């Protein structure tokens, strides 16, 4: 798909759909008047206002056979919001700052070690049960596993 025509009425239905999906992503990222990310219900309401504008101008934005990017974005946001006990992720600007600050410290420094752990967790996606135990005196075992290995990662799981 090439670049859409700068005038929305001349753009294809798929290009308009992609444009609205990008608008929804910008709202998710906090590109709003108050600079805050908003929930899927609010994003849906914003999009309904845009749909009304498109409908008033007789511009289609829902492709019949091609990919509906708007639905993909909204479903992803709704899925994310439905995760119990979720926490906001460390943002890209935060990661950039951490990496820059880590370069100011010795590689074996606690700060660098913490940044490395954050980077590893960000890209590997470890759950709490995989990186820590709830007590220091015993470990939680993996159920239904021969020998009942520890649930969390241990030193011998790593190769350097």
Q: Is 5's pLDDT higher than 50?
A: no
pLDDT for the residue numbered 91: 77
Q: Which two tokens stand for residue 103?
A: 């370069």
Q: Is 50's pLDDT higher than 60?
A: yes
**Residues 96-111: pLDDT tens digits?**
999 999 999 998 888 8
Give the position of tokens 């239904």.
144
* Closest alpha carbon to 76 in 40, 42, 45: 40
Domain ranges of the chain: 8-81, 92-157
Q: Is 130's pLDDT higher than 50?
A: yes
**What's this model's pTM, rounded to 2 decimal places?**
0.53
In angstroms, the CA 65 to CA 56 distance is 23
Q: What is the mean pLDDT of the chain?
A: 79
Q: What's the number of CA atoms in the CB half-sphere (13 Å) around residue 145?
A: 8
**Residues 32-47: pLDDT tens digits?**
888 887 889 999 999 9
* Closest alpha carbon to 27 in 46, 5, 9: 46
Look at the alpha carbons of 112, 92, 158, 155 in this order and tell me if their dihedral is positive or negative.
positive
pLDDT for the residue numbered 132: 64
């Amino acid at each position: 798909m090439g670049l859409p025509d700068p005038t929305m009425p001349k753009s294809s239905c798929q290009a308009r759909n992609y444009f609205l999906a990008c608008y929804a992503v910008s709202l998710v990222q906090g590109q709003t008047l108050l600079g805050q990310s908003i929930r899927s219900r609010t994003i849906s309401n914003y999009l309904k206002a845009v749909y009304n504008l498109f409908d008033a101008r007789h511009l289609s934005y829902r492709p019949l056979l091609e990919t509906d990017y708007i639905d993909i974005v909204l479903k992803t946001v709704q899925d994310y919001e439905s995760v119990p006990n979720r926490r906001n992720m460390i943002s890209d600007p935060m990661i950039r700052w951490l990496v820059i600050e880590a370069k100011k410290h010795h590689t074996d420094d606690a700060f660098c070690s913490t940044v490395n752990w954050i980077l590893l967790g960000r890209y590997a996606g470890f759950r709490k049960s995989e990186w820590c135990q709830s007590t220091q005196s015993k470990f939680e075992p993996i159920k239904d596993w021969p020998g009942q290995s520890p649930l969390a990662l241990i030193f011998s799981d790593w190769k350097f």
